[in-house]
Amino acid sequence: MKYVVLIYGNPESRAAWEGMSAEQQAAGLAYYQQLSDDLDASGERIISERLAFPELTTRVSVGERGTTTTDGPFAEAKEFLAGFYLLDCESQERAVEIAARIPEAAFAMVEVRPVMGLHGPDL
């Protein structure tokens, strides 16, 4: 079963990251690398990516006047999507177990969502 683990940030988590020393940031990135290595070894990680900050967002709209773009952030929100893991796990409980290992779960938000195929959930 496939699940996407969505990792959200917020102004507080961003400030915490920016306030860390280079060594602390390197240790944080090394933790994520170890998590990815563990999930690769178990065969559960399909892909994971860290996303750029919301200021680099481009919103795309299509209407009667054609395609238009707007620089981001495009929505007023405290939380922003910071990254994701696409997993192939035996159960939602296992996906939640993995999500609990993500540091942002302690001070921001991490969401686990089943992946839907073209014909319904991939369950």
- Compute the distance between CA of residue 58 and CA of residue 56 in angstroms, rounded to an integer: 7
- Assign 50 a pLDDT band (cuts: 50, 70, 90): very high
Q: Please state the domain count of the chain.
A: 1
Residue 75 sits in a domain whose CATH number is 3.30.70.1060
Which of the two residues, 17 and 85, has the higher pLDDT score? 85
Kindly report the pTM of this predicted structure: 0.83
What's the domain range around 72?
A: 2-121
At residue 53, the pLDDT reads: 84
Q: Give all strands (DSSP E) within the chain, no chain letters.
A: 2-9, 45-50, 58-63, 66-71, 80-88, 109-114, 116-117, 120-121
